[in-house]
Amino acid sequence: MGAVAIDCTLGQAGHARQILERITPGGRLLGIDRDPRAVEAVRVALAQYGPAVVIVQGRFSELGSIGAQNGFAKADLILFDFGLSSNQIDDPERGFSFRGEGPLDMRMDPTAGVTAATIVNESDVREIERMIREYGEERWARRIAQFIVARRPLRTTRDLAEAVEAAIPKAAWPRDINVSTRAFQGLRIAVNDELGEIEAGLRAALMTLKPGGRMATISFHSLEDRLVKSFFNVESKDCICPPQQPVCTCGHRATLRIVTRRPVRPSEDEVAANPRARSARLRVAEKI
Ligand SMILES: C[S@@+](CC[C@H](N)C(=O)[O-])C[C@H]1O[C@@H](n2cnc3c(N)ncnc32)[C@H](O)[C@@H]1O
């Protein structure tokens, strides 16, 4: 029997194709993506693999039920490649990018949930500040939130970028990234509940893996990587009682063995070929 794989972030199916080349004939792959447009495009692109591939539009936090309903209740390999695909970032109509002008949307699934416009136009100033500070790791979050509220209603990505540009004094603009990068990241993570998705997705993946099966995660920023690192650390320990406690009362048992002690970073060649990979971190763990 071939391997059973689940790609939780199908995107443009670059990874799925690589996996399919290695597990077929005999193996099967379930591909999940919350973006209906990505799913439709990939259905056509992967048609050559026939019944070896099942593609489902949905969120990976629902991996347990999606897997069970589609004959993938147990898997040997589960992959997460967090964040956005180039197609999503580069399409101004999706509202993710501060370059160009588009509606202030930012939903990976444009059929569900609230848009970034609703959040910036209707939320309390303190709530906007929190999202930009916590999820964007932006130290100018308070001023940005105040400028956003003063300029309401914001309708386009340009309106948001201009509010950020006006809020941060020119002398403090970062040199290595666009001045709006962090604020856009913060709102995008909030719109899509990306951190909640990761926490639930990792737990679901652990339940779905067969003993000896592996999960691999690719993170693009420290908030994502921190969640994976801490999940792997906790799940690889036999006891998670506070260190000052003399006797174990938690009864916790390790369920994972960490395969990559340190995250794997892309080589210089890979970054030269694909600059967007520069901040990627790969972590792998095996189910015990
Ligand atoms: C970085 S891209 C993946 C690229 C893919 N590995 C490839 O080779 O083309 C991330 C994809 O994950 C999807 N995604 C992000 N969060 C998700 C979630 N919670 N559930 C399902 N899909 C999600 C996005 O819509 C996007 O298409």
Closest ligand 1 atom, residue 33 Cα: 22
Per-residue model confidence as pLDDT tens digits over 81-94? 999 999 999 999 99
How confident is the model at residue 68, as a pLDDT? 98
- Domain(s) labelled CATH 1.10.150.170 in the chain stretch across 109-191
Indicate which residue's Cα is closest to atom 3 of ligand 1. 11
Per-residue model confidence as pLDDT tens digits over 160-203? 999 999 999 999 999 999 999 999 999 999 999 999 999 999 99
Per-residue model confidence as pLDDT tens digits over 5-47? 999 999 999 999 999 999 999 999 999 999 999 999 999 999 9
Q: Is the pLDDT of residue 1 over 90?
A: no
Give yes or no for a contact between 42 and 55, defined as CB atoms under 8 angstroms apart. yes
Question: What is the architecture, at CATH level 2, of domain 109-191?
Answer: Orthogonal Bundle (1.10)
How many A from CA of 81 to the centre of ligand 1?
Answer: 6
Residue type, 55: I
Cα distance between residue 160 and residue 104, in whole Å: 8
pTM of the model: 0.96
Closest ligand 1 atom, residue 108 Cα: 25
How many A from CA of 71 to the centre of ligand 1?
Answer: 21
Give yes or no for a contact between 65 and 200, defined as CB atoms under 8 angstroms apart. no
- Domain(s) labelled CATH 3.40.50.150 in the chain stretch across 4-86+194-287
Q: 256-258 and 53-57: which strand pairing? A: unpaired
Residue type, 206: L
How many A from CA of 13 to the centre of ligand 1?
Answer: 9
Q: Is the CB of 15 under 6 A from ligand 1?
A: yes
Q: Is the CB of 60 under 6 A from ligand 1?
A: yes
Q: Is the CB of 53 under 6 A from ligand 1?
A: no
How many A from CA of 31 to the centre of ligand 1?
Answer: 10
How many A from CA of 192 to the centre of ligand 1?
Answer: 12
- Options 3.40.50.150, 3.40.50.970, 2.60.120.10, 3.10.20.30; CATH for 4-86+194-287 is 3.40.50.150
Share of the chain above pLDDT 70, in %: 100
CA angle 70/75/78 to nearest 5° reads 100
> How does 208-244 read in b/e, with b if 16+ C-beta sit within 10 Å?
bbeeebbbbbbbbbebbbebbbebbeebeeeeeeeee
Q: Is the CB of 224 under 6 A from ligand 1?
A: no
